[in-house]
Amino acid sequence: MKKSVLVVDDSPFVYYQLKDMIDGSDYEVIGSARSGEEGIEMYHELKPDVIILDIIMPGIDGLETAEILLKENKDIKIIMLSSLFDANLMNDVKALGLKFLLPKPLQKDVLFATLEMLEKK
C-alpha cells in the first residue's frame, strides 16, 4: 500500500513538483492545502502518513502549523520546506522536535532520502 502525502503550501508549485517526482514510487499525494489553517483541517480529514509543510505562508505560518499539529499528535511525520534555510531557521525547526528542513526547489534524491529517514524515525 502506498504511503500518503499531504502538501501544505500557498503556492501550487510544490504540489506539481511532488506529483511529478513521486509518480510511480511508494508514495502518493492525496491532498494539497494552501494555508496552515486548511492544512490542519485536511490533516484531520485525510490522516496522511507524511505532511510536507512550507514555512512562509499567509496566515499562520508553517512553524506555527507544525506546532499545532504536534500538540495533537507528537508522532506525526512532518518535513518542513522553505526557500529560506539558514542556521537560525533550522534551530527553530529543531526546537519543535522536527529533524527535516528541505530547501526549495525540491531535489528528487534529497526528497527520497528524507522520506527514507523519516520512515526509520
Partner 1 sequence: MRSVHEDVCHMFVDSFTSVSEKITGFSLEYNEEEKEFQSAQNVKIQSVGTFRASLFFSMDKDFEQAVFLAMAKNISSKEELKELMIGEFINIISGHALTKINNLSGKTSRLTVPLVGPACWEDKEKFPQQCTVFFQSAYGKMRMDMGYECDF
Residues making contact with partner 1 (CB under 8 A): 10-13, 16-17, 19-20, 56-58, 82-89, 103-105, 107
| C-beta closer to partner 1: residue 46 or 89 | 89
Helix (H) / strand (E) element for 49: namely none
| C-beta closer to partner 1: residue 30 or 56 | 56
User: To the nearest whole angstrom, how small is the minimum distance from the Cβ of residue 37 to partner 1?
Assistant: 15
Cα–Cα distances (Å) from 29 to 36, 59, 75, in that order, read 17, 23, 20
User: To the nearest whole angstrom, how small is the minimum distance from the Cβ of residue 121 to partner 1?
Assistant: 25
User: To the nearest whole angstrom, how small is the minimum distance from the Cβ of residue 94 to partner 1?
Assistant: 15
| C-beta closer to partner 1: residue 81 or 115 | 81
Give the number of other Cβ atoms within 10 Å of residue 96's Cβ.
Answer: 16
